[in-house]
Amino acid sequence: MAIATAMEQDIKRVLVSEEQIREKVAELGAKISADYGDKKLLVLGVLKGSFVFMADLVRQISVPCEMEFMAVSSYHAGVKTSGVVKIIKDIDINPQDYHILIVEDILDSGLTLSYLKTMLLQRGATDIRIATLLDKPSRRKANIRADYCGFEVPDAFVVGYGLDYAEQYRSLPYVGELKPEVYEK
Ligand code: IMP
Ligand code: MG
């Protein structure tokens, strides 16, 4: 049986199956390859949540690209989310003249990506696009949208395929809704 059994007990329902993810990632990879052509492409993963999606996505991108990773955390001033993001790990190169494709696990409030986008443009990137596996449009606070989106999900807490709750469940091969009793206890 699958090694995921213990984790699966905490999943209320599967929202996006492995098969659906595989098909969608292939579709997005083909689209990205066609759109970028011979542009100087940098695929930039936002750690940690994007690592599974990014690993699968780059293997469906047939044009040359470089890869970088950033780790960020939202900075909370008092009780309010300020939208200011603290960079824990920065990219190792100068982004000037690159066409950057930011890869995210889920676009929620959009505050993180909005900040990153502005910052990378200020540093001289030619163009910034966003690829996200999941989108929760109902939660948006920043005026931002994904250029490449896998699936829209309802306003529920989801885990798997890179997404975590308290650093758990990232290794589930599908996206599932977490049982509320798991995070309410
Ligand atoms: P935001 O768009 O700036 O609010 O930040 C989105 C980030 O919040 C994502 O990269 C995730 O790390 C996290 N996040 C938001 N919703 C969920 C969820 O349902 N499950 C797991 N992580 C989530
Ligand atoms: Mg994340």
| Closest C-alpha to 63, from 42, 84, 81 | 42
Please report whether residue 9 resides in a domain: no
* Location of structure tokens 């100087």: 40
Does the Cβ of 104 fall within 6 Å of ligand 1?
yes
Q: Cβ(135)–Cβ(106) under 8 Å?
A: yes
Cβ atoms 179, 11 nearer than 8 A:
yes
Domain membership flag for residue 92: yes
- Write down the pTM of the prediction: 0.94
Whether 3 is covered by a domain: the verdict is: no
Question: Residue 119 falls within a domain, yes or no?
Answer: yes
| CATH code, domain with 166 | 3.40.50.2020
Amino acid at 166: A
- Helix (H), strand (E) at residue 39: none
pLDDT band of residue 74 (cuts 50, 70, 90) is confident
Dihedral sign for Cα atoms in the order 172, 177, 179, 183:
positive
Total domains in the fold of the chain: 1
Residues 73, 154: Cα–Cα separation, whole Å: 23
Per-residue model confidence (pLDDT) at position 48? 95
* Stretch 31-36: mean pLDDT: 98
pLDDT at 28: 98
Residue whose C-alpha is closest to residue 21's, from 57, 46, 47, 45: 57
- Lookup: tokens for 143: 């005026």
Tell me whether residue 5 is in a domain: no
| Distance, CA of 93 to CA of 87 (rounded, Å) | 15
Ligand 1 pocket residue status of 108, Cβ below 6 Å: yes
Residue 54 CA neighbour count, 13 Å, CB half = 25
- In the three-class reduction of DSSP (H, G, I as helix; E, B as strand; rest coil), residue 118 is classed as helix
| Nearest atom of ligand 1 to the alpha carbon of 107 | 2
The reply to whether 35 belongs to the active site is: no
What is the extent of the structural domain holding 54?
22-74+81-183
Is 170 a member of any domain? yes
Confidence band of 80 (pLDDT split at 50, 70, 90): low
Is residue 144 over pLDDT 60? yes
Distance 135 CA to ligand 1 centre (A): 9
Instruction: Provide the pLDDT for residue 3.
Output: 58
Residue 17 has pLDDT above 90, yes or no: yes
pLDDT, average across residues 88-101: 97
User: Atom 20 in ligand 1: which residue has the minimum CA distance?
Assistant: 158
From the list 145, 151, 153, 148, the residue with the least C-alpha distance to 177 is 153
- The pLDDT value recorded for residue 184 is 86
Residue carrying structure tokens 């995921």: 4
Give me the residues paired with residue 132 across strands: 104, 149
Q: How far is the CA of 49 from the centre of ligand 1 (A)?
A: 8
Cβ neighbours of 80 (radius 10 Å): 7
Q: Looking at the domain assignment, is residue 1 inside a domain?
A: no
The answer to whether residue 161 is domain-embedded is yes
